[in-house]
Amino acid sequence: MKKQSITLLIIVFMTVNLLAQDDKYLWLEDVENPKALEWVDGWNKKSLAEIKGNKNYQDIYRKNLEIYNSDERIADPQMIGEFIYNFWQDKTHERGIWRRTTLKSYLTGVPEWETLLDIDKLSEKDGIKWVYKGASGLYPDYKRFMVSLSKGGGDAVIWKEFDVVGKTFVQGGFELPEAKGSVSWVDENTLFVSTDFGNGMTTSGYPKEVRLWKRGTPLSEAEQVFEGKETDMSVSAFAYQTKTKTYKVVSKRTSFYTGNIFLLENAQLKKAELPEDIELAAILNNQVILQLKSDWETGGKTWKQGSVVSIDYNDLIQDKINLKLVVLPDDRSSVTSVAVTKNALVVNMLNNVKSELYKFTLKNEWQKELIKTPELGNITMGSTDDESENYFFYFTNFLEPSTLYLGNSANGEIKKIKSLPAYFPTDKYKVLQFEAISKDGTKIPYFVVGSKNINDGNNPTLLYAYGGFEIPQLPSYNAVMGNAWLEKGGVYVLANIRGGGEFGPKWHQAGLKENRQRVYDDFHAVAANLVERKITKPSKLGIFGGSNGGLLVGVAYTQRPDLYGAVVCAVPLFDMKRYNKLLAGASWMAEYGNPDIPEEWEYIRKYSPYQNIKPGMKYPEVFFTTSTRDDRVHPAHARKAVAKMDESGYKVYYFENTEGGHAGASTNEQRAQMYALIYTYLNMKLMNEQ
């Protein structure tokens, strides 16, 4: 190593350690430390006493709980083999039941459910607050599943083999101890396993190794398939089983957006010669479906960013890059999801932030056909069946409750199955779409939902956005928001800022790393535009964001406190100097940059909220929320933010749920409470409802 390189490393190390020494709240990063938990308890008691003491709290909480526990909710259907599976929570089943029925019974509207696993009873028996995290079934008869359970809702889970015929965990069956990772059935006696094998995880806290585990053998003796590096983000594998072939795929993620795909064929691992940022979306009739995140020049041709293309599996394994174009979105459209039925791709697209559904079938070239769905709203794909042409999807918009449809990709027909009830009247509201001009001249679309007479400049307004990880923010019916906010005279705004996926990879990549400030400029621009249009004024404008969105609103109020009157900062990233050292933080450096590299810290430090809290500012009274059991975004981000705000003389509110994981809540009661606290706080600050 060159002398100057060693000198630079020493300087970086010393700088990081000096900054850490300056942080008097590092002790709050020790999640279960008694002193830290005592601090949490004190803040919870103080904040909850004030918010729950508000005259609106109990009414909002009661209505929230009624919505969450309603039997009129849609039982989300998962088509697996001959059955429809569903996980259900209500007032009787606080932690939920995993159940199933037939498709015929489900379509009657009053299905006869067969309970497979009662999580409440299991929790009582084990003395553990289990949270159901999903189940992976064994093709083709699906009599065995690997069930995933979390202690308190974190990302770390245990996996246990379950017999759905006997409705019991298999004695002596496959079982993995608690860890972050994944499993996938290869056959009835073999699993792909990525977990903590005792030799360390990646710096992001995920598995770095995949093994093939044979039934009846110790996990420690499972055959290694692939081992990555500690500096990789994660390593995982899945087996996609069909009647004619089992496709075995290993994925090494070097960052959140880059990695390599390996194919296990004839016991040999073959690296697929694909761009590192490509996404394997599906496999259909031996066609591997790929989504392009950047231009791909191959075979004398350029395949454009945002495209979906396909390649025959046999060509891919032989490095013959013979691509076929499935779809190429334009500048104002993007692909949000790709799903597979027996003989078709069902592609969900956005056109100027409005959903459209298409069917694609392969006849020498891919043929495109528009599926006639409801218009001017948001479509979310539900379960699909690769053994038939059936698929489910949901349609909603701000004023139309979510409706479940069953589609058939062979005949193009769709059938309405069930709609949620209207939990609040919608005829007195309207939806508008505007554009704000960001600092660099980019047009930023946003939606406004409010009464039909909102242009008086004095409306309590709640602005929500996310702006990261290529996740689009789309119109949807929110019964809790409708009751707790719109019905009390509020206006709701959803902003489609950069960093998201509303207009494809370019929209996302425009806000990465050194360009992150563009995301925050977009948000400020929407806020200012709301004031210019006389929809609201700063003292009446509240903002709400969670996770990456929590970082967004943290930046918003520290950069432009003059624009905002209330802030809900939920499960946030906040200390961007140390985020990569806390839990899964290192996995997001492709999004934000590496604060340990001086050149990258130079742009991160300019917006990192924790470092930019200053005394003597006119900050709004922020409400921070998090969960002790959040093992994705460390609760210390919110803890330290509150401690530093309090030290600087600012009034803040804080609530840390003792379970719930990154979602912040595990049960309907907890969800009802969380959103009652949030909307009561917003009522207090923006509607002067003390």
Active site residues: 547, 662
CA atoms within 13 A on the CB side of 71: 4
At 139, the amino acid letter reads: Y
Decide: 187 and 248 in contact? Cβ < 8 Å.
no
Q: If you ran DSSP here, which 8-state letter would residue 212 be given?
A: E
What lies within 8 Å, CB to CB, of 340 at 6+ separation is 282, 283, 284, 289, 346, 384, 386
What lies within 8 Å, CB to CB, of 349 at 6+ separation is 327, 329, 333, 334, 335, 336, 355, 356, 357, 358
Q: State yes or no: cis peptide before 140, omega within 30 of 0.
A: yes
Decide: 233 and 206 in contact? Cβ < 8 Å.
yes
Q: Which residue has the tokens 């906010």?
A: 485
Whole-angstrom distance, CA of residue 383 vs CA of residue 392: 5
**Count of Cβ atoms closer than 10 Å to residue 340 Cβ:** 21
What lies within 8 Å, CB to CB, of 647 at 6+ separation is none
For 428, list phi and psi in degrees, rounded to 5. -95, 0
Element (H, E) at 148: strand 144-151
CA distances from 94 to 29, 65, 240 (A): 30, 11, 34
Whole-angstrom distance, CA of residue 660 vs CA of residue 214: 34
Sign of torsion over alpha carbons 229, 230, 234, 239: positive
- According to DSSP, the β-strands at 182-187 and 175-179 are unpaired
Whole-angstrom distance, CA of residue 112 vs CA of residue 680: 39
What lies within 8 Å, CB to CB, of 305 at 6+ separation is 292, 293, 294, 295, 504, 505, 506
For 107, list phi and psi in degrees, rounded to 5. -75, -10
Cα 18 versus chain centre, distance: 34
CA distances from 487 to 372, 377, 421, 490, 538 (A): 33, 22, 16, 7, 21
At 416, the amino acid letter reads: K
Whole-angstrom distance, CA of residue 209 vs CA of residue 202: 9
Whole-angstrom distance, CA of residue 50 vs CA of residue 62: 18
CA atoms within 13 A on the CB side of 378: 19
Element (H, E) at 65: helix 57-69
Whole-angstrom distance, CA of residue 177 vs CA of residue 232: 22
CA distances from 503 to 473, 474, 523 (A): 11, 12, 17
CA atoms within 13 A on the CB side of 619: 29
